[in-house]
Structure 1
């Protein structure tokens, strides 16, 4: 039940974030002014075979599978023509040189508030979270109630065993 509550809260967060970005934020093309992933760090990551332990950067909870969380100082131009510098965090492919130009979303009321993840990303995350909730309630609740897995899972498992 705690997992279901966490998914519901995650769904609410994703929907709120997407709605916030659609209402009051603007997209812009940003150029990296000062990168947060040096050549030495990239080479060190390349040499350590996808493991963070023992690297120059170490472990960061925000790193993903094969990804590194970096923070770049970017410069972009607002709709009004104002050139703005801001810090933005994003995940990049581990040990690859990140792009020097990418899309950011900035708050029109405060252009220094910037994110690399726009409303499309948050809408997709909300959709995936909703699909996980639907699957949980469609199959998981019945499985917990009866103690028997859904029929499609039994057939899939039997098929996997027969292929070996």
Structure 2
């Protein structure tokens, strides 16, 4: 398998990710509504936060252990929240989100809920998905501008070669 084949597989993955992000953004804007949620039952106990404080940047060996959804310096938690719809209906729902590791998460935050089924909630709104789509598009543009030719020919793009020459001549 050549480098071009690997790049094209990556391009396919980026395109699928871009389509998913745009779909999710459009779905949230069309049928979902924003609400302010209050945490009813938190998913990140004081003992777990203290354990994370004493084990910075290490998940293995902690009370919570390793979770693939944890980010760098963050933890994935699931909270039970309560919020009100515009017609005054009080809804309890579970929502997952990432919080800063070893810090007490906020008790009030914005969620998006499905108007047709208010039990379906998310902490990530259309702005998050649009920003992620823009990052995927930027990665695709970066690959198509110079990555494919570099992988196919094995030679650096002209602008990168000139940049390297300029750095060598300055030394």
Please indicate, yes or no, whether the TM-score normalized by the shorter chain is above 0.5.
Answer: yes
Secondary structure of the structure 2 residue equivalent to 1:31: strand
* Deviation readout 1:83-124 (Å, 9 max, x if unpaired): 100000000000110010000000000001000000010011
Q: CA deviation at 1:2?
A: 1.4
**Equivalent residue for 1:129, pick from 136, 139, 157:** 136
Q: What is the match of residue 45 of structure 1?
A: 52
Q: CA deviation at 1:151?
A: 3.7
- In the alignment, the residues of structure 2 paired with residue 93 and residue 37 of structure 1 have an alpha-carbon distance, to the nearest angstrom, of 11
**Equivalent residue for 2:151, pick from 138, 141, 144:** 144
Q: What is the match of residue 71 of structure 1?
A: 78
- In the alignment, the residues of structure 2 paired with residue 59 and residue 161 of structure 1 have an alpha-carbon distance, to the nearest angstrom, of 44
Unaligned runs of 5+ in 2: 1-7
Computing the radius of gyration over CA atoms, which structure comes out larger, 1 or 2?
2
Q: CA deviation at 1:142?
A: 1.4
Q: CA deviation at 1:80?
A: 1.3
Larger mean Cα displacement after TM superposition, 148-157 or 82-91: 148-157
Q: What is the match of residue 10 of structure 1?
A: 17
- In the alignment, the residues of structure 2 paired with residue 93 and residue 156 of structure 1 have an alpha-carbon distance, to the nearest angstrom, of 39
Supply the RMSD in Å over aligned alpha carbons: 1.8
Secondary structure of the structure 2 residue equivalent to 1:7: helix
Q: Aligned residues, how many?
A: 164
User: Are 2:98 and 1:106 aligned?
Assistant: no
- In the alignment, the residues of structure 2 paired with residue 144 and residue 12 of structure 1 have an alpha-carbon distance, to the nearest angstrom, of 25
* Deviation readout 1:2-38 (Å, 9 max, x if unpaired): 1111101100100000000000100000000000000
Larger mean Cα displacement after TM superposition, 147-156 or 68-77: 147-156
Unaligned runs of 5+ in 1: none
